[in-house]
Every structure is written in structure tokens, then in C-alpha cells.
Structure 1
Amino acid sequence: MPHPARRLRRTLAAALAASAVAALGLGAQPAQAADPVAYVALGDSYSAGSGVSPTDLSSPLCLRSKANYPKVIAGRIGARLTDVTCGAAQTKDFTGSQYPTVGPQVNALSADTDLVTFTIGGNDNNTFIGALLACGSAGLVTAGYGDPCRTLYGSRFTDAIDSTTYPALKEALAAVKAKAPNARIAVLGYPWITPATFDPTCFAKLPIARGDISYLRDLQGHLNDTIARAARESGAVYVDFAQVSEGHDACKASGTRWIEPVLGGNSLVPVHPNALGESRMADRTMAVLGLG
């Protein structure tokens, strides 16, 4: 597989040669088509599109969708996609086997890889699920009033992100760069799960106490900021969803929300992107990378 820069030069040279032949009246010859982009998708359930139909049965344990954002991107740009995304993946699963039949994700990379994308970090320290379960349970006990989760857990989740998730992200990014030294690497943040301010209709979808909506929002913001920092320091591109996903959180109506709620949603995997969310994640990633 040619290096991406050599591939581009070869394509331009072929096009110029064909133009020269035509100008000399020797008959136009077709330019040599560029090789498709070698694209490898890594990451967790937000990358796998877990819960979005139709399901990709190539790795049943990973709950991978045929409509996840990597497949949307690959279809739009004609890339040759290797998709090893896997639901519940943590940073350690980049270099270790997540399941006996699911090997290290970086094994899909090589010096010929042109593009790598992933979301990762939300499952480290059980950040997302742990916080949602803890805050949901506390919210039910107080019938949605107060901020019981903040009171009970304080900085526990953000402290774990700083002490454990951040260095793990740096190690994961280093492993990706070592296996794919010629690739452009894009690390995606997580679209907003909760609204910016308390919504009285939200409790029926996300049983979080009104004072803890901002607590969870701040937690997710801290995680995304940490991912962005690790990406920048590693020379990767960070794809930020803070603005574009505003107003598309799990409390919004079907057709507007990108994330499915805990209750009354349309997915068997709650608090994850739906098909619209995966498509919009593809849109944003392509815009940031200048693809399409």
C-alpha cells in the first residue's frame, strides 16, 4: 500500500500525463485511480453504534452496528474500512484482548493505515455507567429533588478520570501511533447526554435529580476535556461535539435526540447514540477532518 502522500502524487501525475497525451492529439488515456483510503475504526460502544439496527453479526459480543459512524464515513468517502469497534471497550482493550475471541484493537492497524477514528475512555473506571446508575438510584430515592448524587460522590468520578483515565488515554494513543505511524488519528468526544439546564420533563426519561443534572453534565464535560487534552498532546485531532450536540440530549423527543434515554427510548441499549446520532457524529467528524 503506497504512503498517502505518494499515493496523492501518483494520482496527480497520472492525471497530468493523461492531459498531456490528449493535448498532443494522441488520444486520452484514463488516469490511474487513487487507492481507497485505508480506514480503521477503533473504540467503544459509541463508535460501535451498539443498539442501532441493523446489527453487524461479524462479532456478536461487540454489539456492532452496520449503521455506526465509521461505516457511514467509509460509505461516503469510498474508504476500505476495517471496523474493530466493540461495545464496553476500555482503553486497555486497545492493547489487550477484550474477550477470548476479540483481540487487541490495535492489531488491525499497520503502517499502511491512512485514517483512524475512535471514542474511548467513557468505560474506564466505569465512569458513564457507574455515574448514571449511582445518580439514577439516588434520584429515585429523592423523587427527583435535591442533588443526592453530588452529595454522595462529590469529586470521586472526576478524580478517577484525572488519576487513571488520562494516563490510560495517553498510553492508548501512543499504541495507536506506534502501530499506524502514517495515519491521521481522530479522537471523538462524547455527545451530550444531559441537557444544559434542568428540564422538568426529563425525569421521566432520565431519573436524575434536578440538582444532579448539572453534576452529570460537568462530569461529562470533564471527561471530554481530558480526552481533548490527551489527543492534543499526542498529536491527534480532537472532534468536539460540545456545540453541535447541544439540544440533542437524551431528554429530547425522538427525531431530535441523538442519545436514547434510560426510560421510554427506542433502543435496547440506553444512553447511547441512535441512528441519527451516529449519522451526525459522522457529519461532524468529516467536517473536522475535511473529508467528503
Structure 2
Amino acid sequence: MAKSPDRNIRRASPSRTRQHLRHGLVVGLVVLVGLGVAIAAAVLLQRQLTSDEGASGDRFVVADLPDALALPEAPRYVALGDSFSAGLGIAPAAAEQPGCGRSTNNYPNLLARRIQAATLVDATCAGASTAAYYDVQATSDPLGPPPQRDAITRDTDLVTVALGGNDDDIFGTLIDRCPKVASLDPEGSPCVDSLDVDLLARAEEVRGRVLDVLRDIRQRAPDAVILYVGYPMIFEGDTCAAMGFAAGDAAYASKVFARIDEVQREAAAKADVPFINLRSATVGRGICGEDPLVAGFEPTAFSAAAWHAGSEMAGFVADTLASVLTVG
């Protein structure tokens, strides 16, 4: 026999039931909307974080990076190079070695922090050529910095090197002379026409010098990881107000630095040293790019030094190098 309903149970009226349903729907909608907003905010935040990683993330892609290279914990790191590696114009300036234009936020310093290096010996110096690897470099300091190779010891774990653009005053000749004569023939090549040297031929000579440097590094630090860091895109063939070159001279400058990049890459391959190809990763970001990373003949908001990159480039290089290194 079925049980009879409990007379003490209160039954909700139809109107009260509808009120509860409406209230529940409103609460549910509020929760769903809030959840949607939270998810959207998280996605936007992630995108913002990706875009603010100091030129890493999706903004640049370096081709042909090596597989992970092992370093011991608290490695000893030596950085060799010219003004690009020294971080000329990036604040704050390092106090040691006057005349070299080093920054404490250049990519060697940023990389040392990322890999938790026990020691960073930053031997980079503005104006350095491959000759500065072997000899005292002439700077505003009467004593000059010591040969860069003196920083390398047998217990060195990591060496980064970027030299060659200043050999035989290749870079200096372009940036010192070409803007001065551009007005003589803006559509022509007054700078190239006035030179008594072939900068493309000079660029060819860099190959053997870089190879000799890399072989000497290997002899001095036989167990070290060595990375050769190429130059970013500087000249891309076109001219603009920021560059101040005549059209033909801008095209020539692009060929010269494309050749330097090529011979550096060939020398690194012959020495069995990974080459970090920044030039191809920064196409469209040279002096005349829509969003340049390298300043022209005047300092800019992103670079306090004319003809040089700023902190965004330093962060990108440090992130790229760190990505191919494993510590411990």
C-alpha cells in the first residue's frame, strides 16, 4: 500500500517556484559571464606576456638553432665581441674598462643571470676587431683593454663571440663616409664611387680571421661550449631618413653585411661551432624597417647610441642563447 503524503510538508506555490527559477537563472548567467571575462582576461594577459618577453616568444624565429648544449652548474662564462655585444648605449654603463662602452644590461650580462653563471668575464669592447682578440685595443683609455683572449682559461665553460664587422674599418667606413656624401647623388652611389677600397673584398678576409679566433678559443678552453653570435639585420637594401645613405650606397652596405654574415657562418661551420643567425631572424627590423631595432645616424628612443641596437635586441639575444643551453 502506498504511503499517504505527509501533511506537515509545505508545498511551494507556483509563483514562488518561478521566482526561485528566475533567481537561479540570473545567478547562473552572472557566474558564466564572470567566468568568460576571467578566461578572456587570462588569454589577453598571456598574449601580453608573450609580446613583452624582450623580443622572445613569437616575435622572432632564429633558424637552425643547435640542440641543447650542456653546461655545469654555476658555469664560468667569457663574452668576446665588439660594440654589438658590449651593448653600447644601453643603460646603465659598466664602470670597469673605460672606453669600451659596456653595459651591465648587455646580452652577456643578461645571459649570465639566466644561466646563473658563477663568473662572467665580459671582455667585449666597442670598436673591437678580430685583432683585438690578440692585442691591446686602442680606446680612450691610454692603457687600453687587454687582448680579449686573455679572459679565456682552461676551466671556462661557455664562450660567446661576435667579431668581424670592424675588421679593416668596414663598418666605420660605411657609417662615417656614406651619410656625408649622400646629397651629391641621392639616387646613386657617391660613397662607393669615392672609395679607394673594396669593402666586399675586405669582408671576404674576415672568414679566415674568425676561423683562427675560434680555433684558438678551442685550444685555450677545450671543454667549453662556444657560440658564435651573428649580427642582426642592419642594412636591408633600402635607404631612409634615419640612415641618410644614397640609394645605391644603401644597397651596397646591405651586400657587404650579408657577405660578413656569410663568411662568419662558414668559419663557424668549419670550426664546428654553432652559429646564431640573428640576421635572418630580424628581417624587416633594420634601420629602415617599420619597427626598427637598430638606430641610424642619430640616437633614438630605443637606442642611446647611433648605429646600434638597444635593450630589446639584448633581451632577444640573451633569451635565444639561453634556450640552447642546459645547466646542471
Q: Same fold (TM over 0.5)?
A: yes
Using structure 2 for the length normalisation, give the TM-score: 0.71
Could you tell me which residue of structure 2 aligns to residue 123 of structure 1?
Answer: 166
Report the secondary structure of 1:170's partner residue: helix
Could you tell me which residue of structure 1 aligns to residue 270 of structure 2?
Answer: 233
Bigger mean CA offset, 127-136 vs 113-122: 127-136
Question: How well do the aligned residues superpose, as a CA RMSD in angstroms?
Answer: 2.2
In 2, are the aligned partners of 1:131 and 1:157 still within 8 Å (CA)? Answer: no
Aligned residues: 252
Greater radius of gyration (CA) = 2
| Map 1:269-288 → 2, pairs under 5 A | 269-287=305-323
In 2, are the aligned partners of 1:48 and 1:62 still within 8 Å (CA)? Answer: yes
Counterpart-to-counterpart distance in 2, 1:140 and 1:54? 36
Report the secondary structure of 2:243's partner residue: coil
Change (3 A) 1:101 1:147: closer
Could you tell me which residue of structure 2 aligns to residue 56 of structure 1?
Answer: 94
Could you tell me which residue of structure 1 aligns to residue 26 of structure 2?
Answer: none
Gaps of at least 5 residues in structure 1 are: 1-6, 9-33
Could you tell me which residue of structure 2 aligns to residue 160 of structure 1?
Answer: 202
Counterpart-to-counterpart distance in 2, 1:283 and 1:165? 27
Could you tell me which residue of structure 2 aligns to residue 243 of structure 1?
Answer: 280
Counterpart-to-counterpart distance in 2, 1:184 and 1:270? 32
Counterpart-to-counterpart distance in 2, 1:258 and 1:268? 12
Identical aligned pairs, as a percentage?
29
Amino acid at match of 1:95: Y
Amino acid at match of 2:202: A
Report the secondary structure of 2:279's partner residue: coil
Q: Which residue among 242, 259, 276 is the counterpart of 1:222?
A: 259
In 2, are the aligned partners of 1:186 and 1:237 still within 8 Å (CA)? Answer: yes
Deviations along 1:80-131, one digit per CA (max 9) or x if unpaired, are 3211111111111112111424111111111111110021011111011112
Report the secondary structure of 1:159's partner residue: helix
Could you tell me which residue of structure 2 aligns to residue 258 of structure 1?
Answer: 293
Counterpart-to-counterpart distance in 2, 1:211 and 1:101? 37
Higher relative contact order (CA 8 A, sep 6+): 2
In 1, are the aligned partners of 2:162 and 2:229 still within 8 Å (CA)? Answer: yes
Deviations along 1:154-208, one digit per CA (max 9) or x if unpaired, are 980011122x32222222222211211111111111111123x536xx2x21111
Could you tell me which residue of structure 2 aligns to residue 114 of structure 1?
Answer: 157
Could you tell me which residue of structure 2 aligns to residue 147 of structure 1?
Answer: 189
Report the secondary structure of 1:232's partner residue: helix
Counterpart-to-counterpart distance in 2, 1:243 and 1:166? 19
Counterpart-to-counterpart distance in 1, 2:318 and 2:90? 14
Could you tell me which residue of structure 1 aligns to residue 77 of structure 2?
Answer: 39
Could you tell me which residue of structure 2 aligns to residue 172 of structure 1?
Answer: 213
In 1, are the aligned partners of 2:115 and 2:322 still within 8 Å (CA)? Answer: no
Amino acid at match of 1:270: A
Could you tell me which residue of structure 2 aligns to residue 71 of structure 1?
Answer: 109
Using structure 1 for the length normalisation, give the TM-score: 0.79
In 2, are the aligned partners of 1:205 and 1:264 still within 8 Å (CA)? Answer: no
Counterpart-to-counterpart distance in 2, 1:149 and 1:189? 26
